[in-house]
A = this chain, B = another copy of it.
Amino acid sequence: MTAYQPGLHLIGEADSPNLTKLSDASLFKVLVDELVAHHGLTKVGEVYHSFHEAGFTAAVCLTESHLSVHTWPEYGKVTFDVFLSNFKRNNDITTQSMFDSIAQYFEASLMHKTELRR
């Protein structure tokens, strides 16, 4: 057995001007499903929870780990993270691409990003 190959975990916080996207979990699910298919990942479970007249929380579990999003339309903010393991293949480029796609989706500005190897 090869040694454990730490994955890349990208963690972001940003402002977003798009109140529709900050409020509509079903739109975000379309994006996630497209990204999962495009990158050949495997979804094993998901939670999308919409708060009353507010934002939503999503967590999508993958065989390759997970991504999560919390939106705050009342503050014009979103926090999100993407963590893909490198168990069967190196997913670093995919992790970065998915993170960027989510940031682009929310038209993120004033973004702060943390990179962890774990």
Chain A positions near chain B (C-beta within 8 angstroms) = 1, 3-4, 6, 9, 11, 13, 44-49, 51, 57-63, 65-66, 68, 70, 72, 74-75, 77, 79, 83, 85, 112, 114, 116, 118
Contacts and interface: CB of A to CB of B under 8 A. Distances in A.
How many subunits of this chain does the assembly comprise?
Answer: 2
Contacts of A65: 57, 70
Given A4-B77, A45-B57, 4 more contacts: A44-B57, A49-B61, A59-B59, A114-B116
Contact of A11 (B46, B74, B75, B116): B116
A67 to B, nearest CB: 9
21 contacts: A11-B116, A11-B118, A44-B47, A44-B49, A45-B47, A45-B48, A45-B49, A47-B59, A47-B61, A51-B63, A57-B63, A58-B61, A59-B60, A59-B68, A61-B68, A65-B70, A66-B68, A70-B83, A79-B83, A112-B118, A114-B114
